[in-house]
Amino acid sequence: MSDTSWKPGAVAMVHCSDGEWRQATCEPHAIDPARVVWRFPNRVYRDVDTSTARPLVVIDPENREQVVGMCRRYVETYSGPGTSFDPDGANRRAVECMQAALRSLIDPPKLEEPTGLGAVVTDVAGTRWIITGGPTQPGFEWYSPDLNSRTSWDLISAVKVLNEGVTA
Residue spans in the chain of domains classed CATH 2.30.30: 3-55
Q: What is the pLDDT of residues 80-118, one digit of tens each?
A: 888 888 989 988 898 998 999 998 888 777 788 888 888
The pLDDT assigned to 1 comes to: 46
Whether the CB-CB separation of 27 and 12 falls below 8 Å is answered with no
Q: What is the pLDDT of residues 43-77, one digit of tens each?
A: 766 666 777 788 888 899 999 999 999 999 888 89
The total of other beta-carbon atoms located within 10 Å of residue 161's CB is 15
How far is residue 66 CA from its own chain's centroid? 19
Provide the whole-model pTM: 0.51
* Cβ within 8 Å of residue 142, ≥6 positions away: 129, 130, 131, 132, 150, 151, 152, 153, 156
Task: Output the CATH code of domain 3-55.
Answer: 2.30.30
